[in-house]
């Protein structure tokens, strides 16, 4: 990097080359403009660095957990489901399979997700009663995932390279100081959400909350809680999803969490999904 622009404070050599030394007032004006220019770039870069650090700290070769979901409707009716989640690989190049284990009417239903660094994921769902897998089309990614408040899009990983970021301030979540960021999907990223607000904890870089919007309307809020360190990775053990359009919510509780366990590539295929 040119030493003239290595620091925001070292702008005078640039001003001199622009002719500012001969006019002190003009020099001060140009210094102010350059501070805004370079300061704005640093501000945007900091937001991306925060998300990159959060992603790097949560990186692992694999993950497995057992999840219990409680789905609450607007009529206060609560239904309980259980699933097993396994992931092989990490951000931008991972495969995941999620299989329902209870209750009996959903047991055996499974979702296979191939995450990509440069575009939306590929997804297939297996429903035993239909005896076939079904590719989840892009236009269906905004629909609810099998009676929960997650959408199909929410089942894929948020890779840092698929979004543009801006620092929007600081705001605590549950008493923990957080950076508040704004993200927007890049043109190559197909999404139901036009923007998202993210709160990232300052102490451990864990994402505490994501508010997903369609234009200015809140669509879905995802809150991460009960954060514990497991295999040296800070991990939320509770995920609460609020569907703001239906005023319903799903609480996912994670149990028997494992990272970096040995897994086989052949268990993450469409053939394996059908078994």
DSSP strand pairing (95-102 vs 195-201)? unpaired
CA-nearest of 43, 83, 52, 51 to 67 is: 83
Confidence of residue 187 (pLDDT cuts 50, 70, 90): confident
Cα(50)–Cα(233) distance, integer angstroms: 17
Residue owning tokens 């900091």: 46
Q: Is the pLDDT of residue 7 over 90?
A: no
pLDDT in tens, 61-89: 999 999 999 999 877 788 999 999 999 99
Provide the β-strand partners of residue 214.
217
pLDDT at residue 33 greater than cutoff 50: no
pLDDT for res 12 = 39
Q: What is the mean pLDDT of the chain?
A: 86
CA dist 46 and 129 (Å) reads 49
Contact, 138 vs 123, CB < 8 A? no
For the segment 120-143, the average pLDDT, to the nearest whole number, is: 94
DSSP assigned state of 136: -
- Specify the 3-state DSSP secondary structure of 38: helix
Measure the CA–CA gap between 240 and 10, rounded to whole angstroms: 47
| Residue 159 or 260, more confident | 260
pLDDT recorded at residue 76: 74
Q: What is the pTM of this model?
A: 0.81
Measured CA to CA, the distance from residue 254 to residue 217 in angstroms comes to 29
Dist. CA 183–CA 238, nearest whole Å: 23
What digits encode the pLDDT tens for the residues 193-227? 999 999 999 999 999 999 999 999 999 999 999 99
User: In the prediction, which pLDDT does 14 show?
Assistant: 33
State the pLDDT at residue 234.
97
Burial class of residue 31 in the structure, from the number of CB atoms within 10 Å of its CB (0-12 exposed, 13-18 middle, 19+ buried): middle
Give the tens place of pLDDT for each residue, 35-51.
334 344 444 449 999 99
Q: Residue 109 to residues 39, 100, 141: CA-CA distances in angstroms?
A: 51, 5, 17
* H or E stretch covering 16: helix 12-17
Residue 158 vs residue 16, higher pLDDT: 158
């Amino acid at each position: 990097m040119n030493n003239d622009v290595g620091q925001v404070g070292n702008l005078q050599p640039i001003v001199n080359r622009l002719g500012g030394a001969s006019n002190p007032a003009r020099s001060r004006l140009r210094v102010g403009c350059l501070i805004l220019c370079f300061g704005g770039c640093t501000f945007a870069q900091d937001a991306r660095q925060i998300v990159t650090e959060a992603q790097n700290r949560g990186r692992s070769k694999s993950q497995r957990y057992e999840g219990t979901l409680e789905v609450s409707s607007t009529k206060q009716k609560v239904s309980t489901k259980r699933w097993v989640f396994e992931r092989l690989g990490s951000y931008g190049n991972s495969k995941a399979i999620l299989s329902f284990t209870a209750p009996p009417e959903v047991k055996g239903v499974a979702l296979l997700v191939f995450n990509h660094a440069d575009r939306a994921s590929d997804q297939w769902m297996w429903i035993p009663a239909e005896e076939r897998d079904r590719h989840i089309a892009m236009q269906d990614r905004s629909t609810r995932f099998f009676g929960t408040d997650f959408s199909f899009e929410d089942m894929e990983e948020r890779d840092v390279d698929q979004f543009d970021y801006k620092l929007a301030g600081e705001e605590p979540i549950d008493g923990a100081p957080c950076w508040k960021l704004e993200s927007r999907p890049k043109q190559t990223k197909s999404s139901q959400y036009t923007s998202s607000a993210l709160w990232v904890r300052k102490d451990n870089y864990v994402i505490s909350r994501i508010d997903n919007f369609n234009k200015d309307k809140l669509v879905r809020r995802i809150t991460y809680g009960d954060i514990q360190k497991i295999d040296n990775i800070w991990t939320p053990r509770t995920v609460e999803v609020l569907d703001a359009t239906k005023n319903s919510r799903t609480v996912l509780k994670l149990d028997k969490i494992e990272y970096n366990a040995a897994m086989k590539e052949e268990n993450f295929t469409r053939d394996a999904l059908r078994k």
